[in-house]
Every structure is written in structure tokens, then in C-alpha cells.
């Protein structure tokens, strides 16, 4: 990341040194990202994408304890989702939610209208399907806004290259950017990573990650019903469509992939994988038309030749495993005991994680056990105290490595990191010009079915 060559003066320092409100206003107009809107240092927030994860992020933003925050604008392409999110957030946070009808926006251009309600130094939350990250991030940088964006942040090579450039632009404007890979803000995983990097389990030679459970979210989709366009249907059921979300592989598995790469302190250089579509009908006999596979098994390889195995499955009735492990030359670690970063993490002698072999177990203060809140506390601390803070590049790398495994499974080929980074298949070009009347990035056939991966047949792209 590039370093700032000039240091922005904080609003409070400026007022202390000069005592002149007018001069502070001039500095704000010049675009100093450190400024806070309002005379009481309240940081205003706009929520773009009002689904469950977006509503959760907004709630965490309003729950920070290091200074006042207020939700002032909301945007979504679905009015009912915005309405539900507003009601729930208002019930939870009362006066911290100040979003009258005039600041609730619906449509594909709603993100601009919501961010136009903010001043430089406020925060925009991006929790739409990840295909739209680069579009929204571009506008936020123009508006000199700090950003919290949910994962994944890219789904293909062209948008990853674009986001790497945007990361540098955000640095140049001293903007603080958080990415919703909350495992990195788990205090247990932070200590474990430090211990592994210090050699407590020796050289990391094998990692295992699992997320295996029944279908959830919009993993599978029936044929599009009447009364909704292909475009809105695909945005609504984004987990089902690779262009919108990277499919269930990217959206579900990125946390485990990211935190195991963190433990290794490296990104894989290649991957080979397999996967299959086993059950593509509902219990009622409806044929699903989504693009997802039911099972995935990926072998990632690091530059030193060590291996990371990632297994995923979305099938009811099978054994559920949702955990991650790192094996070293001197011992092993349970990274996440259950879930994306479930407590406690632990280190063991040998390769069998039984309690009699345990030599360390994480112990976290109750107030720091929620990584979702931790990531917001950390971001707001960086904004208020002007600390270097830009997680964009790492977020893109995690998203790209996740897509690397997905592409290997969908093509049936061994794919390198450089190959997916430089792949020219942009799955949904022109999203910055999208309107409600635009054609969907994915077109169905005469039977209402969408293109699916065909490993060994379609080799250069995923569908």
C-alpha cells in the first residue's frame, strides 16, 4: 500500500489551533477525509444493501463505543427489504437511526443518492451482492468517504484488477476501508496467528478447512416466476448466480479460506479441484436452475509446496463439519472449532487435537468475543484517530484465491493465481451503467435454465 505524503490535520486539532469555524469548513470542502460531519463529531453512515448482512453491519456501526454514529441514509433495489431493515434498525437503535422517507432510496442508482447524503469523512456500508463492489467503491472514493464493504469484494479477474487499483486510490486520499472478513478481527485468531508465525507448531505443512451443511440462503433456485425480470431475480437470489456473488463457493467458503491463508502467512499459487451436482430437484419435484455445485473439494498449493485442502458441501442429511485446522512439523492447531471463527482456538503437540495434548487455548475477554463488533470498533478507531487502515488489497486477494478454487472446480483444470488474476472473462461488464430495464448478465435458455459449469468441456471460463 502506498504511504500518504502529506498528513491531514484533524478537525479538532484545527479548531484548537485556530479557533476559526470558517477555516475548518474550508478545509472540509477541500476534501480532508478525516473530517466528521456535524459539530459534535458524529460520524454519519449510509447503508447500501439492506439485507441481513447489511442490517447487521449497520447495527454494529451504531453500537461502537468510541464516539457517536448515526444512520442517515439507506439504499436497496428492493423496497420491501429496505422497509424491513429500517424498521428493525429503528426498533433497536432509536434516535441513532435518522432516515426519513426522503433519504430512503430504491433502484440501481440508489447507491449514489445515499452517498450524496454524506459528507467527506462519513462512512458508506456496501452489503449488496459483491459484483457491485467496484461500482460503489469508485463513487465512494470520488465522494471522499470511508467504507465498510462486505465480503467477497470481487468474483473474477477483471474486477479484481480494478479493485487493486481502487485500493491505491483510497490510500492516496487517506480513506479508511474495512472489509467484512471478521475472522481477522477475532482476538483468538489474532493470537493464534502470532503464535503460528512465531513457530509454535513449526513449519505449516498441511491445512484443512470444512464447511459442510444443508442448503441455506439462496443456494438453489427454482425457475424464475412471472412478475420479476431476469435481472432482479438474479440480484435477489445472488447466491445462485456466479456473476453476482461467486456462487455459494465464494460467499460461503471465503472466511475459512482467508483465515487459513492468514495462518500460513501466504496465498496459494495454484489449485486443482473437483465438484458435482447431485440433487437438482426440490422435494416437490421442481428442477433447480442455479449455477452451484452441491459438493466441492479443492487442493490449494503454496509456493513452498505445502497443501491446503478445502471441502464444501450443501446437502441435507450428511454429516455436518464446519471447522479448520493447521498442521505443522512440531504440532497442530484448531483454528476455528466451529463456524467461521468459533472459539476456542488451541494448539496441540503431535497431530491429534485431543485435550491431553493441548498446550494453549485462547481466552478472550467477553467484551471482545464478537468479531463483527471488533471489526467496526477497529475501523472507527482508525477513522477517529487517523490510523493507517485499508483492508481492500487483502480483501481482493482473499476473494481472488477463493475464486481460484472455484474456477479450478468449474473448469476441471489446474489454475494458477496468475491465470485467474489475468483471466479476461468479466462475468458482468457494465454494471456501472445498469438500470432496471437492462438485460441480465446471465440469460436463460428456452426451458428457463441458466448456463452451468461443465468441467472438462468449458475449460477457459467457468460457464
pLDDT at position 202: 98
Residue 192 has pLDDT above 60, yes or no: yes
405-445 tens-digit pLDDT: 999 999 999 999 999 999 999 999 999 999 999 999 999 99
pLDDT at position 448: 87
Residue 10 has pLDDT above 60, yes or no: no
Instruction: Enumerate the domain spans of the chain.
Output: 11-183+373-390, 187-368+399-433
122-179 tens-digit pLDDT: 999 999 999 999 999 999 999 999 999 999 999 999 999 999 999 999 999 999 999 9
Q: Which residues on adjacent β-strands are paired with residue 302?
A: none
Q: What percent of the chain has pLDDT over 70?
A: 91
Number of neighbours of residue 152 by Cβ within 10 angstroms = 29
d(CA 177, CA 80): 29
CA distances in angstroms from 450 to 219, 289, 459, listed in the order given: 14, 6, 18
C-alpha 346, offset from chain centre: 26
d(CA 9, CA 12): 8
Specify the fold of 11-183+373-390.
Rossmann fold (3.40.50)
Q: Supply the mean pLDDT for the chain.
A: 92
d(CA 124, CA 146): 6
22-71 tens-digit pLDDT: 333 333 333 444 444 444 799 999 999 999 999 999 999 999 999 999 99
Handedness of CA 443, 446, 450, 454 (dihedral sign): negative
Number of neighbours of residue 286 by Cβ within 10 angstroms = 13
329-384 tens-digit pLDDT: 999 999 999 999 999 999 999 999 999 999 999 999 999 999 999 999 999 999 99
β-pairing, 415-416 vs 270-276, is antiparallel
Residue range 94-116: mean pLDDT, rounded: 98
**Are the C-beta atoms of 428 and 244 separated by less than 8 Å?**
yes
Residue 184 has pLDDT above 50, yes or no: yes
Residue 104 has pLDDT above 70, yes or no: yes
pLDDT at position 447: 85
SS3 category, 339: coil
User: Looking at domain 187-368+399-433, does it have CATH number 3.30.360.10?
Assistant: yes
**Are the C-beta atoms of 366 and 348 separated by less than 8 Å?**
no
Q: What percent of the chain has pLDDT over 90?
A: 89
Q: Grid coordinates standing for 292?
A: 452451484
List strand residue ranges (DSSP E) for 214-345, in order.
270-276, 295-301, 307-314, 321-328, 331-336
pTM score of the predicted model: 0.91
Amino acid at each position: 500500500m502506498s504511504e500518504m505524503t502529506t498528513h491531514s490535520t484533524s478537525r479538532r486539532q484545527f479548531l484548537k489551533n485556530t479557533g476559526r469555524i470558517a477555516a475548518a469548513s474550508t478545509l472540509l470542502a477541500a476534501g480532508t477525509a478525516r473530517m466528521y460531519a456535524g459539530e459534535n463529531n458524529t460520524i454519519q453512515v449510509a447503508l447500501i444493501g439492506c439485507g441481513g448482512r447489511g442490517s447487521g453491519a449497520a447495527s454494529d456501526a451504531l453500537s461502537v463505543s468510541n464516539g457517536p454514529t448515526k444512520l442517515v441514509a439507506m439504499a436497496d433495489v428492493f423496497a420491501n427489504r429496505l422497509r424491513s431493515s429500517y424498521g428493525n434498525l429503528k426498533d433497536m437503535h432509536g434516535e441513532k437511526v435518522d432516515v426519513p422517507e426522503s433519504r430512503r432510496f430504491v433502484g440501481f442508482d440508489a447507491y449514489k443518492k445515499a452517498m450524496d447524503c454524506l459528507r467527506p469523512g462519513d462512512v458508506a456500508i456496501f452489503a449488496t451482492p459483491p459484483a457491485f463492489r467496484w461500482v460503489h467503491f469508485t463513487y465512494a472514493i470520488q465522494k471522499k468517504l470511508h467504507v465498510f464493504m462486505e465480503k467477497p469484494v470481487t468474483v473474477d479477474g477483471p474486477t479484481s484488477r480494478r479493485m487493486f487499483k481502487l485500493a491505491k486510490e483510497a490510500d492516496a486520499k487517506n480513506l479508511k476501508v474495512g472489509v467484512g472478513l471478521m475472522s481477522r478481527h477475532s482476538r483468538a485468531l489474532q493470537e493464534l496467528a502470532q503464535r503460528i508465525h512465531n513457530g509454535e507448531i513449526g513449519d505449516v505443512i498441511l491445512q484443512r478447512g470444512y464447511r459442510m451443511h444443508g442448503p441455506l440462503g439462496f443456494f438453489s433456485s427454482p425457475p424464475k416466476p412471472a412478475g420479476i425480470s431476469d435481472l432482479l431475480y438474479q440480484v435477489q437470489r445472488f447466491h445462485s448466480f456466479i456473476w453476482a456473488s461467486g456462487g455459494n463457493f465464494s460467499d460461503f467458503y471465503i472466511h475459512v479460506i482467508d483465515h487459513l491463508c492468514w495462518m500460513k502467512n501466504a496465498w496459494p499459487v495454484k489449485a486443482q479441484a473437483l465438484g458435482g451436482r447431485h440433487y437438482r430437484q426440490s422435494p416437490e419435484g421442481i428442477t433447480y436452475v442455479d449455477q452451484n455445485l452441491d459438493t466441492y473439494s479443492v487442493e490449494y498449493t503454496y509456493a513452498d509446496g505445502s497443501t491446503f485442502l478445502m471441502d464444501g458441501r450443501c446437502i441435507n442429511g450428511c454429516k455436518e463439519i464446519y471447522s479448520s485446522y493447521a498442521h505443522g512439523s512440531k504440532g497442530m492447531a484448531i483454528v476455528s472449532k466451529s463456524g467461521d471463527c468459533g472459539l476456542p482456538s488451541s494448539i496441540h503437540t503431535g497431530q491429534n487435537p485431543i485435550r491431553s495434548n493441548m498446550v494453549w487455548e485462547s481466552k478472550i475477554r467477553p467484551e471482545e468475543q464478537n468479531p463483527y463488533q471488533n471489526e467496526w470498533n477497529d475501523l472507527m478507531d482508525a477513522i477517529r484517530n487517523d490510523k493507517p487502515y485499508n483492508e481492500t488489497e487483502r480483501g481482493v486477494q482473499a476473494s481472488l484465491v477463493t475464486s481460484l478454487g472455484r474456477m479450478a472446480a468449474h473448469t476441471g483444470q489446474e489454475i494458477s493465481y496468475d491465470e485467474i488474476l489475468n483471466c479476461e472473462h468479466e462475468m458482468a461488464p457494465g454494471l456501472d451503467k445498469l438500470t432496471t430495464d437492462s438485460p441480465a448478465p446471465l440469460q436463460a435458455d428456452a426451458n428457463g435454465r441458466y448456463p452451468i459449469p461443465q468441467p472438462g468441456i468449458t475449460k477457459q471460463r467457468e460457464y
